[in-house]
Structure formats: C-alpha cells, structure tokens
Amino acid sequence: MSLADRLREEAFRLYLRWRGRPAVVAAALDRLGIARTPNCDALPSDSIRVAAVQMRLRLVGGASEYAEMIGTRARDAAAAGAQLVVFPEDSGTHLVGMLPGLAGLGEGVSLAEATASLAGPGAKPVDVLRFVGPAVQSIYETTFSEVARRLGVYVASGSAMLPDAAGVVRNVGYLFGPDGAALCRQVKCHLLPLEAGWGLRPGDDLHVAPTPLAAIGLPICMDATYFETSRILAGLGAELILIPACDVFEGRAVGPGRAAAGEPTKPYSAWKALRGLWPRVQESQTFGVHAAMVGGMLGMTATGRSAILAPLELTADGSGIVAQASSWDQEEIVAGDLDRRALRELWESADVADGFNIELYRRHFPGAYAEFRERHAGGRVVPTP
Amino acid sequence: MSAGTVRAAAVQLDAGGLNGPRAVLAATAEMVEEAARAGARLVIFPAHTGTLYVAAELGLQSPLVAAWAEARAEEIAESAAEWVRAARRLASGYGVTLLPGTVLWPARLEPPGPAGRGPDQAWHHAAPVVLPDGRVARWQTQTHVRGGERELGWEAGVDLSPVDTPAGRLGVLIGDDIWYPEAARILALQDAVVIACPAAVRAPYDERHQWRGLWQQVQQNQVLAMEAGLGGEGLGVRWQPRTAAFGPVEMTAGETGWLARMESERSGALIADLDLSMLGEVVRAYDIFSQLNPALYERYLPAVYERWRKAAGAR
C-alpha cells in the first residue's frame, strides 16, 4: 500500500470514529426523550420480567440512526415492564452501512461480494469488519450502555463482529447494568461455517454475570446448538441463559432429504428452531430468553421467533414456553415473567445433577473431543455397513 | 433401498401381555420373525422385557417397586442368562442384530457379554447387543441413574461405548440416558452412527419429553436412532410408548426429525430404513461437529460437574 493510500485509510478511520463519537449517540437518545424507569428498583426479587427484542436486519447510515433504532426498541420493552431487555445477534451488523457505497450495491449482494466490490478482489469480509470495527465498537458500546443507564434496566446487546487489539475479529455480546456499566463480555464459542469462512475466530470461555436480577449467561446463537454451553453455564451458576440469534435462512436445498422429496426449503422451521435454546433450558433447568433477528441484507435472510423459556414443569401448559413472538419475520417485543423461587424449588426437588455420572465424564471429557477431531481431521465420515 | 441403508425395526410391546416367561419369549420370537420377514437387519425391543421374564419365572415382586434381594443374585443371573440365550438363538436363527430389551443384572456377577468395568453395587440395568452369529457383542449398562432408581439398588455403569455391527456402529442408551446429552455425545464422539434406545417410560409420556430426549440427541449429534417403547401395565407400573425412528431434520420429510413413528400403543414392529449414505451427505453439507470447541471444554469439563454436584439444590 502506498503512503498516500495509508494516509487516506487512516483519515477515513478517523472520520468514521468522529461520526460515531459518543456525543452523537447521546444527542440521538436525548431526542428520543428516554426516561428512567423504576423497573429494577425493587431488585433482587423472586419474580423478574424479561423481554426479547425481535428486530429487523438492515443497514444504517450512522450513529444517530443506530442509537434511535436501539433506543426506541429498548424503551418499548422497558415500557412493558422489562427489567432485562435482550437484543438479537448481529445487532451491530447494521453499522457496516456506514461504509460508503455499501447501501447502493443492492439487497441480493452477499457480504463476500460486497467486500470484493468495496475493497478489491483479494479482500475478505473480516478485512472490512476489522476496518470498520473500532468505529462500530464505539457506537455499539456507547449506545447500549447509555440506553441501559437512561432506562435504568439491564440490557443484553446481542452481538457485533468486532476486532480485538490484535485484529482478530470475533462475534461479541455484552450485558450492561442499570447504571450503564458493562457487566459481562461474551465471545461466541461455536461459529457458523459461514462466519469461520469470513475469517472470524471463536472464543474459548463462558461467563456468568451474577446480578441482583439473576445469574446470567449470554452465549450467542449457535452456542445453543451444543449442550456443552448450557451445561457449563449452569454449572457455573447460571439461572438465566440468553441467546441472541440471527438464524440465516438458506434458500437453496441443503439436505439431500429435502432435495430428494422435491420440497423447497422453508424460510422458518419450528423443528429446526427446536435444536436451539429450548432443549438447553430443559436439560440444564434454567430460564432462557431467545431474541431473534429477522429480515435481510447482504444476501442473508434471517428468521426466528423470539421467546421466553422455562423448564416444562414451570409453564402452565407444559410447553416450556412462557411467551413467544407471533411471527418469524416481523419486529416484535416479547415479554414474560419468570419465577426464580419456582426454579429453585425445582432444583431442590429434582435437580438434574442427581443423575450425573461424573466417573463416566472423567473417562471421556475432555479428551474425546480432541481425539475425535484428530481422527476426522479431513472431515467427519459416516461409514456405511 | 440404497446400498448404505439398513432396515431396522423398533418393537413396541404391551407389558400386559407379557405375564409369564413363555409369553415374553413367544412375543419376542413373534416380533423378531415379523421384523425379519419385513427385511429388518436390526431389531430393537423395549426396556424391561428381560426384567419381566425374570420376575415372572422366579415369582419375584417388581424390582421397580421394591428392590430385589441380593441374596437371590445367582438365580436371577441364571434366569437372565436364559433370557439372553433365547435372544442369541433368535438372532442367529433370523440373521439379525438384536437388542432383546433390558434386564436387571447383579452388578457383582460377570455378565454374559463385554461390559467394561463398573463399581460393585447391587443391580445394573443393562441391555445385550446380539450379533447375527449369536455372539453377545456388547453388554451396555444404563449410565444415568437418579434417586428413585438408586434407592432400588441400581448402580450406573461407567462404560459407554458403541459396538460395530452389520447394521452400523451402534450405541445403546437406556432409561434416563436419553435425557442426559452427555451420553449420546460420548457415543457420537466414538463414531456411533445409530443409537438404539430400549425404552420404558412411565405414563404420561408427553411428546415434549421425547423432543428433549432422543429427538434432541439425534439432532445435536447427527446420528440416526430408534426408540422401542413398552406400553400397558407391567411390573407394577403403567407405561406409555412412543416408538419412533429419528434422523437429522434435513433428511426427513417435512424437516420434522421423525423418520417414522407408531401411531398406536398396541404391540407391533415399526419398520424404518436407516439411510447411512444420506446421513453422510447431511454431515458433509453441514458438519455440526466441525464447530465443536475443545479448548472451551478442556477449560471446564469434567470439573464443572463436580462443582454443580456440590452446589446441587442450591445453585
């Protein structure tokens, strides 16, 4: 890269940072007139009210528009009494719209194609995310922190793809407290192959934030497909697991079963959704909040039904669902009440730990994972008889 | 059927009709014959068929109500061994891989097949896997036992391994194993591709319990599975069967994750074609295990279970 190019690049970075400075976010939230709520004043409490924001994936042009988008939805959730507001995965992806030229590329253009168009044929999506990351991070953290503080509620930001100090881009979510402090930062530990293909790297740790509201774990999307996530979090003391999600619908047939039957891929499948947070809540006897991103941009279409979840035994109809979005493709706020005392009583009467076979687990964990990976280094093979 | 397909049968039995050792053996033989005639190479029976046999033959009370006396361990073992011998004759006679169900076996006595090592406690709830040549290739013990069963003297096994059979690399889950995801994961990490579940679930058995049970284990491990259920009244318990065959949603009609299921609670054989070639295509298209995170698991497993156990009831 020539010196002139480097200077131009640095100047543009500074420009993005300036456009996303905290004062811009603050001014946008001031215009919304967000008032503090008393929702968290009585904590700790045995009964808590949580909300999932089901929102649309779209490009936004800058910090002001972004803060207004997040602030409006959080305000609506808090107005419904929510003490915790959970946003979906990729809630920070909207901000890539700050890159000039992106919005003009058309809806069907994928992130990889957009990257090549904006940054040249050799560029990868992670290069774009790395470039715009510092500006995105500033806007993202400021917005959610300020929204939490102004409303006086807990806010789980969902996630954004952000670079760390070494330039490694990861999918990261935060939990902010009613005073705006960041209580927890969680990196997605199980990526989609799509994300890995973009150049993202997974995290290797899980955290539980002990708060007066509840002990909260906040893994991200695909993390919920792996039982290990909720087992570890519950073992660390989590009573509430949040899953911000952005389930991308692939229009083409993936499974040979569907292709053979001639069935088109459905944009939303309740059965596929059943592979996520619902079974994790049942297995590990926690509460759960699933917040879904919907809509499309950059060639991706996301669908999902946000939900508030509990063990089957703690829901009146035995479904494990306290509240659920009525749609899988529209914006909604889903709120529900969780009874922490009932959960503790369930643990006392029928703790799943009663059946743990720790000697069996010692024999196989964690070694079996590495051994499997070594045996299938070239890809998992299913032998036929 | 493609070359990589195994036709399998999950047998559903009404325990009310199994009121004597001959009735158990007759029902087993009838169902194996029916399954074999339908082309099944793998036949799975519900749990406690062996327990029903032993209890009836020796005139014992139900061990699900009150524990069997250890003093009778030798004669219980001999009766259970006879039940296994009958299964071996059926397997070799019809040329099938057969799981004839489960039986309570005295933990301190050597079982009729390879079992690995286990602690010395009263009873193991176990299932034999019998090959078409009549050999017992595996003696799998239930590995997740909870308070009520422990009070009856049941002890969890500590060995959980799949076995190679002509029907594929087969793992067995018994009882509560299906609600502990660790069990199916351990089997899948050892390359099990088919999971057999001899089941006996007390009524009411809500379908949502099955969603969080074997259905779930199939989805998160990308394996095929069959659950063979016990119904009716037997051993002092009312059972409800939900006999079914499962596969990853991508390879099932309607993307439901069900390959087949019994529509009634009557005795019968559910036949399903387990297409291992298609399973391989599903895995190639999206391999869930490619994103496992050993670095994360090394940090917390298995220590987090001990931490949880210590805090149990007061997390």
Helix (H) or strand (E) holding A75: helix A63-79
Q: Is the pLDDT of residue B118 over 60?
A: no
**The 3-state secondary structure of B77-131, one letter per residue:** HHHHHHHHHHHHHHHHHHCCEEECCCEEEECCCCCCCCCCCCCCCCEEEEEEEEC
Q: Is the distance from CB of B127 to CB of B158 less than 8 angstroms?
A: no
Helix (H) or strand (E) holding A162: strand A160-163
pLDDT of residue B166: 96
B291 touches chain A (CB under 8 A): yes
Summarize the confidence of residues B251-261 as an average pLDDT. 94
Residues 62-101 of chain B with CB under 8 A from chain A are none
Helix (H) or strand (E) holding A333: strand A332-339
Q: How far B17 CA sits from the closest chain A CA (Å)? A: 32
pLDDT in tens, B127-168: 999 999 999 999 999 999 998 999 999 999 999 999 999 999
Does A354 sit within 8 Å of B147, measured CB to CB? yes
User: In this structure, what token pair is assigned to residue B305?
Assistant: 């279970």
pLDDT of residue B38: 98
Residue B194, classed as helix, strand or coil, is: strand
Does A237 sit within 8 Å of B315, measured CB to CB? yes
pLDDT of residue A107: 63
**Amino acid present at A187:** V
Of A231, A254, A256, the CB nearest to B304: A231
Helix (H) or strand (E) holding B229: strand B224-234
Does A206 sit within 8 Å of B166, measured CB to CB? no
pLDDT in tens, B159-216: 999 999 999 999 999 999 999 999 999 999 999 999 999 999 999 999 999 999 999 9
Model ipTM value? 0.96
Q: Is the pLDDT of residue A250 over 70?
A: no
Cβ atoms within 10 Å, residue A357:
23
Residue A262, classed as helix, strand or coil, is: coil
- What is the C-alpha separation between A76 and A85, in angstroms, rounded? 10
- What is the C-alpha separation between A92 and A63, in angstroms, rounded? 11
Summarize the confidence of residues B57-80 as an average pLDDT. 94
- What is the C-alpha separation between A308 and A242, in angstroms, rounded? 9
Q: Is the distance from CB of B129 to CB of B140 less than 8 angstroms?
A: yes
B117 touches chain A (CB under 8 A): no
Q: Which residues of A touch B280 (CB under 8 A)?
A: 381-382, 384
pLDDT in tens, B2-17: 779 999 999 999 999 8
Residue B264, classed as helix, strand or coil, is: coil
Of A192, A206, A320, the CB nearest to B296: A206
Cβ atoms within 10 Å, residue A295:
17
Does A373 sit within 8 Å of B292, measured CB to CB? yes
Q: How far A237 CA sits from the closest chain B CA (Å)? A: 6
- What is the C-alpha separation between A103 and A196, in angstroms, rounded? 24
- DSSP letter assigned to residue A250: P
Does B277 sit within 8 Å of A361, measured CB to CB? no
Of A204, A361, A384, the CB nearest to B302: A361
Does B220 sit within 8 Å of A227, measured CB to CB? yes
pLDDT of residue A259: 47
Q: Which residues of A touch B304 (CB under 8 A)?
A: 231-232, 235-236
Q: Which residues of A touch B218 (CB under 8 A)?
A: none
- What is the C-alpha separation between A105 and A59, in angstroms, rounded? 12
- What is the C-alpha separation between A189 and A229, in angstroms, rounded? 9
Q: Is the pLDDT of residue B271 over 90?
A: yes
Cis peptide before B302 (omega within 30 of 0): yes
Which of A183, A224, A196 is CA-nearest to residue A84? A183
Summarize the confidence of residues B39-66 as an average pLDDT. 96
- Phi, psi of A32, deg, nearest 5: -70, -25
- What is the C-alpha separation between A265 and A285, in angstroms, rounded? 33
- What is the C-alpha separation between A228 and B297, in angstroms, rounded? 7
pLDDT of residue B264: 95
Q: Is the pLDDT of residue B23 over 70?
A: yes
Q: Is the distance from CB of A368 to CB of B192 less than 8 angstroms?
A: no
**Amino acid present at A188:** K
Cβ atoms within 10 Å, residue A324:
16
CA A354 to chain centre: 31
pLDDT in tens, A121-161: 888 889 889 989 999 999 999 999 999 999 999 999 999 99
User: In this structure, what token pair is assigned to residue A373?
Assistant: 């990976």
Does A360 sit within 8 Å of B211, measured CB to CB? no
Does A235 sit within 8 Å of B308, measured CB to CB? yes
Residue pairs between chains A and B whose CB atoms are closer than 8 Å:
250
Confidence of residue A201 (pLDDT cuts 50, 70, 90): very high
User: In this structure, what token pair is assigned to residue A276?
Assistant: 């996520």
Does A361 sit within 8 Å of B182, measured CB to CB? yes
Does A357 sit within 8 Å of B143, measured CB to CB? yes
A51: left (phi over 0), alpha (psi -120 to 50) or beta: beta
- What is the C-alpha separation between A27 and B65, in angstroms, rounded? 70
B118 touches chain A (CB under 8 A): no
pLDDT of residue A103: 66
Confidence of residue B121 (pLDDT cuts 50, 70, 90): low
Q: Is the distance from CB of A244 to CB of A86 less than 8 angstroms?
A: yes
pLDDT in tens, A272-293: 999 999 999 999 999 999 999 9
Does A192 sit within 8 Å of B289, measured CB to CB? no
Burial class of B270 by CB neighbour count within 10 A (0 to 12, 13 to 18, 19+): buried
Cis peptide before B204 (omega within 30 of 0): yes
Taking only Cα atoms into account, the Rg of chain A, rounded to an integer number of angstroms, comes to 21
Mean confidence (pLDDT) of chain A: 92
pLDDT in tens, A300-337: 889 999 999 999 999 999 999 999 999 999 999 999 99
In b/e form, how buried is each residue of A186-221, taking b as 16+ CB within 10 angstroms?
Answer: bbbbbbbeebeebbbbbbeebbbbebebbbbbbbbb
Does B293 sit within 8 Å of A202, measured CB to CB? yes
- What is the C-alpha separation between B198 and B174, in angstroms, rounded? 6
B170 touches chain A (CB under 8 A): no
- DSSP letter assigned to residue A222: G
Does B158 sit within 8 Å of A359, measured CB to CB? yes
Cβ atoms within 10 Å, residue B207:
10
- DSSP letter assigned to residue A319: S
Strand partners, B141: B126
- Which residue did the predictor score with more confidence, B311 or A214? A214
A215: left (phi over 0), alpha (psi -120 to 50) or beta: beta
Does A226 sit within 8 Å of B293, measured CB to CB? yes
Of A254, A347, A382, the CB nearest to B276: A382
Confidence of residue B313 (pLDDT cuts 50, 70, 90): low
Q: How far A212 CA sits from the closest chain B CA (Å)? A: 15
Which of B163, B181, B168, B134 is CA-nearest to residue B41? B168
Q: Which residues of B touch A283 (CB under 8 A)?
A: 179-181, 212, 216
